């Protein structure tokens, strides 16, 4: 039995007694230590699943870690040793930035949800690149890229380009984050005109980098669950037209309908976890119906057990990612999901 089966009884009470962001920082610090000898073999977890090939990349199974947990790549080897087939690191920006003032992360305990308004706090893309180069994890690495808070929206493409060039040779795919609700104006990049301009710039650069480096690194676009059906169709059409390699459905939601009256429901930011499941799956379904298999999909949002994972696969996802259920259930959730898919 995995030692992590005891997480809800032994580790979580301790972690949940801490402020959510302190708990997160402690986890990252511990991860840095546990990812190295002599601890790594003691704290790793063997997870066996069905291998698959998506976007030209070979995944050991469908389940990965969603962006935002290890923004700076501080504990790639530890997180990788827990059995994820892939880790999405970041979101990183060209320059380091503090993000929004604390408190900015909240637990909605009644619903196994989280609300965050971190605002792309990260140490900058160069710091992440050092960690990427040092990693020993052999699984797939995606890097989520974004823009600095101080960069005007009209110059956003330069920030994405800067990050794309930096990480291109150090990862397996790049995720374009235009759906974080906590960076002012960012989600406006999902509107057809700015989206097409941004994605075209990135695709042109990807082509150039692919020929310079003799290596094609796929581009994935991550979308919000708070889009109208018309917006969803326009984004899908733009992604198909421009040859985007994958789409992630979804980021966190600003809606509070599902957690009305629960703890911290009035905090602003993005809601994730179980209360996001239905909405994100609905968006995944719409995207899948519109794309008709033209672009592979990553299902994210409220996956917490084999049933919710299977539902995303049935609704059109090829890959899956989790964040909140990893916080609530610990590393054992990876094994529980993958080995029961």
The residues binding ligand FMN (CB under 6 A) are 66-68, 71, 90-91, 105, 114, 116, 118, 144, 177, 180, 222, 251-252, 272-273, 276, 300-303, 322-325
Toward ligand FMN, which CB reaches closer, 184 or 215? 184
Toward ligand FMN, which CB reaches closer, 136 or 340? 340
Would you give the distance in Å from CA 212 to the centre of its chain?
28
Q: How far is the CB of 38 from ligand FMN (least distance, A)?
A: 31
Q: How far is the CB of 37 from ligand FMN (least distance, A)?
A: 29
Q: Specify whether the CB–CB gap between 54 and 313 falls below 8 A.
A: no
Round to whole Å and give the CA distance between 292 and 40.
42
Toward ligand FMN, which CB reaches closer, 106 or 168? 106
Q: What is the residue whose two structure tokens read 């604390």?
A: 102
Cα dist. 249→50, 144, 171 in Å?
Answer: 22, 14, 21
Nearest-CB residue to ligand FMN? 68
Toward ligand FMN, which CB reaches closer, 168 or 328? 328
Q: How far is the CB of 105 from ligand FMN (least distance, A)?
A: 5
Q: What is the residue whose two structure tokens read 């504990």?
A: 75
Q: How far is the CB of 31 from ligand FMN (least distance, A)?
A: 15
Toward ligand FMN, which CB reaches closer, 135 or 222? 222
Q: Specify whether the CB–CB gap between 256 and 108 falls below 8 A.
A: no
Q: How many CB atoms lie within 10 A of CB 18?
A: 13
The burial class, CB within 10 Å (0-12 / 13-18 / 19+), for 211 is exposed
Question: Pseudo-torsion of CA 70, 80, 163, 148, nearest 10°?
Answer: -10
Toward ligand FMN, which CB reaches closer, 109 or 210? 109
Q: How far is the CB of 267 from ligand FMN (least distance, A)?
A: 12
Q: How far is the CB of 254 from ligand FMN (least distance, A)?
A: 13
Toward ligand FMN, which CB reaches closer, 273 or 330? 273
Measuring CA to CA, which residue among 156, 108, 147, 136 is closest to residue 271? 108
Determine which helix (DSSP H) or strand (DSSP E) holds 175, and give its type and residue range: strand 173-177
Q: How far is the CB of 118 from ligand FMN (least distance, A)?
A: 5
């Amino acid at each position: 039995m995995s030692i992590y089966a005891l997480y809800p009884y032994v580790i979580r009470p301790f972690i949940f007694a801490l402020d959510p962001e302190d708990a997160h920082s402690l986890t990252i610090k511990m991860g840095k230590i546990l990812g190295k000898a002599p601890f790594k073999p003691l704290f790793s977890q063997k997870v066996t699943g069905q291998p698959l090939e998506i976007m030209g990349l070979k995944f050991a199974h469908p389940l990965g870690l969603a962006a935002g947990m290890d923004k700076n790549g501080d504990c790639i080897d530890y997180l990788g040793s827990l059995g994820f087939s892939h880790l999405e690191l970041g979101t990183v920006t060209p320059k380091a930035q503090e993000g929004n003032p604390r408190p900015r992360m909240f637990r909605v305990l009644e619903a196994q949800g989280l609300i965050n308004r971190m605002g792309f706090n990260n140490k900058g893309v160069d710091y992440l690149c050092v960690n990427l180069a040092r990693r020993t994890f052999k699984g797939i690495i995606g890097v989520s890229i974004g823009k600095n808070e101080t960069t005007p929206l009209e110059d956003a493409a330069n920030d994405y380009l800067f990050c794309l060039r930096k990480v291109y040779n150090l990862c397996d795919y790049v995720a374009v984050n235009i759906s974080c609700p906590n960076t002012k104006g960012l989600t406006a990049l999902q509107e057809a005109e700015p989206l097409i301009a941004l994605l075209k710039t990135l695709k042109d650069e990807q082509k150039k980098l692919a020929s310079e480096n003799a290596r094609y690194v796929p581009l994935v676009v991550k979308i919000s669950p708070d889009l109208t059906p018309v917006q969803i169709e326009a984004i899908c059409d733009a992604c198909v037209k421009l040859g985007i390699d994958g789409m992630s459905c979804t980021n966190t939601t600003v809606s509070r309908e599902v957690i009305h009256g629960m703890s911290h429901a009035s905090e602003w930011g993005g809601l994730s976890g179980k209360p996001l499941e239905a909405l994100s799956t609905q968006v995944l379904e719409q995207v899948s119906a519109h794309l008709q298999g033209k672009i592979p999909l990553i299902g994210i949002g409220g996956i917490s057990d084999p049933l919710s994972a299977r539902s995303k696969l049935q609704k059109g996802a090829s890959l899956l990612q989790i964040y909140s259920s990893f916080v609530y259930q610990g590393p054992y959730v990876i094994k529980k999901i993958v080995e029961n898919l």
